[in-house]
Amino acid sequence: MAEEKKAPGSRSTVVKKLKATKTVSVYQKEWFFAMKDRVEKEQCDFAILNADVPMEIFRAMDIPFVVNQWWAAICGAKRMTKKYFGLMQANGYRPDLNSYDAQALAESFDPDDHKVDAEGNPMGPWGGLPKPTLCVTRLTGDAQNKIFGLLAENYDAELYTIENTQARMTPLNWYELAPDRWEELYDTDRIDLAVEELKELIRYLEMKTGKMFDMNKLQEVMDLINEQEGWYRKLRDLIAQCHPVPVTVVDTINAVMQAQWQRGTRWAADHAKSLYEEVKALADKGEAAVPNEKLRMMWLGRGMWQDFAFYQRFEEKYGAVFMWSMYLAMGADAYIRNHVEEDPLRALAARFIGMEDFLHMPPWNSSWFLQQARQNDIDGVVYMIPENDMQAVEGSYFIKKVLEDAGIPVLAFHADPVNPRKWNAETMTGLVEDFIEKRVIPSKESKQQK
C-alpha cells in the first residue's frame, strides 16, 4: 500500500484526516498476522487466490486465503520489488513479465522469506506468507496457468483452475443490469457453466479440507457484500455530486481496495459504512480536498503503488484533483447482486464471470468509463496502460475514442505499476502538466464558453 503522505505541491487537507484509511491499514495487518498465526497453529489449508476467483466460497467455508494482487501491493509497499526481480532472474524467469501478478511467485523463491535480519526484523514482507496448500486462479489470461502452476509447484501446493468464457451478448449498460437483471446481462449458458464450476470448486474444497459447504453461510457472505458495496455506491454518488470533492483517489483507493479483500465479513461492511459517514460529514461541512478545485480528473488503470503522491502533484498548480478511480466505482457498480436468497450460487456466478470483462473488455469498459466520466463531471482522463500484461490490454483505442468523441480529453501512456525502475516521476509529471495545459484547460474553457 502507498504511504499516506502529502506530495510537495499538494494542498489537500484531508489525506491524513480519513480515519477509515488508517483503520483499514491497521486492520489488514492485524488480520494478516492473526490469519498467519491460525494457519501455523492449526496447520490448516491456506489458499492464494487470484483477484477474480470467487473468494466468497472460501469465506463461506472458513478457508484462510490471501488474494494475489493484494499481496503484490503489500510486497510493493514493503519495497520487495527489486529483490523479487533478482530472484525471478536467478531462477531463470523473466522478471518483467506480468510483474504485478508474479510477486507471490517471486517470494516463493526467497530462501530468507521467513527469516529475520541481524536486527531482528523480518526479511520477508510481514514475515512472509504462510505456506499455501492451494493455489487457485481463473484462466482469464495465458499467464495464469503459468504463474499459479509454478506457485503451486514451488510450495508443493495443489493447483486449481477455473475456466473463463467470452461474452457473446454485450449490452452496453451492464452497470444498470448487474444488480438485479443479470440474466439479461449474460448469455444464459455462461451463467449455467459458471454455476457448475462453482459446484465443482465446492466439491473439490470439501474433499481437500474436510469441511462441508453451507449454502446459508454463503448467503450471509453475499448479503454482507451487498451491504458493503451498497455503501460504496452511496459514497461514489456522493463524491460525484460534490463540487468541490471532499476526498481524492489518494484517500479512496486505499480505503476501498484494502477493504475489498475483506469483503463478505461484518468488519468490511461496517468499515464501508464508516468510510461513507466520514466522507459525508466532510461533505456536509463543505470541506474540499483541493480548495481551489478547478479540474476533475479521472484515473484509468491500476493504482500507482510506487508513487502514490503522483496523484497530488497537480493540485496546487492547476487545481486538478484526481477524484475518480476504478477501485471505488467498481465497488459501486460491479459487485452488488440483489435477491441472493433466490439462488446464492447463481448470484455469485453472475458476479464473478463479469468482473474481468467490466474492466478489460470493450465495449463494457469503454461504455462504463464514459458513463462514469459524465456522472462525475470529469474534465480530463489520465490512462495508464500496463506493459507486458496482456490480461490488462483492454482496447485503449476504443476507450480513448469513446471519451474523446464525448469531448473528454484523454492522456494515454504506458507504465508498469509495480516497477519503480520503469517509472520516471519527473517525465510523467511533465507529461500530465502538458496534457492539462494543452488539452484539459482549453477543453474546459471551451465548454464553459458554450
Q: Which residues bind other proteins (CB under 8 A)?
A: 91-94, 97, 139, 141-143, 145-147, 149-150, 153, 159, 161, 163, 165-166, 168, 170, 189, 193, 196-197, 200, 361-363, 385-391, 393, 395-398, 401-402, 414
Contacts of 111 (CB under 8 A, 6+ apart): none
Dist CA 328 CA 298 (whole Å): 12
Which residue has cell 510506487? 306
In the complex, minimum distance from the CB of residue 272 to other proteins, in angstroms, rounded to a whole number = 32
Identity of the residue, 268 or 402, whose beta carbon is nearer to other proteins in the bound complex: 402
Q: Which is nearer to other proteins, 379 or 416 (CB)?
A: 416
- Alpha-carbon span 198 to 9, nearest angstrom: 49
- d(CA 202, CA 223) in angstroms, rounded, equals 19
| Beta carbons of 128 and 155 less than 8 angstroms apart | no
- For strand 410-415 and strand 295-300, is the pairing parallel, antiparallel, or unpaired? unpaired
DSSP state letter for 264: T
Cβ proximity to other proteins, 127 vs 395, nearer residue: 395
Q: What is the DSSP letter of 439?
A: I
Strand partners, 310: none
Output the smallest distance, CB 97 to other proteins, in A.
6
Crossing angle of the two packed helices 344-352 and 215-241, in degrees rounded to 10: 50
Q: Please say whether the beta carbons of 328 and 236 come within 8 A.
A: yes
CB of 365 to other proteins, least distance (A): 10
Judged by CB, which is closer to other proteins: 141, or 264?
141
Looking at beta carbons only, is 154 or 375 nearer to other proteins? 154
Which is it for strands 134-138 and 47-49: parallel, antiparallel or unpaired?
Answer: parallel
- In the complex, the smallest distance separating the C-beta of residue 280 from other proteins, rounded to whole angstroms, is 39
Q: Residue 50 or residue 248: which is nearer to other proteins going by CB?
A: 50
Query: Alpha-carbon distance 135 to 389, whole Å?
Result: 20
For other proteins, the closer of residues 150 and 320 by Cβ is 150
CB of 348 to other proteins, least distance (A): 17
The least CB distance from residue 386 to other proteins, in Å, is 8
In this structure, are residues 316 and 11 in contact, taking their beta carbons and an 8 Å threshold?
yes
The helix/strand/coil state of 318 is: helix
**CA separation for the pair 135, 153 (Å, rounded):** 10
Give least dist CB 374 to other proteins, A: 18
Of 263, 333, 250, 305, the residue nearest 6 (C-alpha): 250
Cβ burial 377-400 (10 Å sphere, 16+ → b, else e): ebbbbbbbbbbbbebbebbbeebb
Per-residue DSSP letter, 363: T
Among candidates 395, 403, 393, which has minimal Cα distance to 371?
A: 403
Contact 332, 210 (CB under 8 A): no
Q: How far is the CB of 8 from other proteins (least distance, A)?
A: 33
Q: Which helix (H) or strand (E) holds 118?
A: none
Residue 389: CB minimum distance to other proteins, A: 7
Q: Which CB, 94 or 339, lies closer to other proteins?
A: 94
Closest separation between CB of residue 94 and other proteins, Å?
5
C-alpha 435 chain-centroid distance: 26
For CA atoms 224, 330, 134, 201, give the dihedral sign: positive
Nearest distance from C-beta of residue 391 to other proteins, angstroms: 7
Residues 6+ positions from 44 with CB-CB distance below 8 Å? 38, 63, 64, 209
Task: Compute the least distance from the CB of residue 198 to other proteins, in Å.
Answer: 11
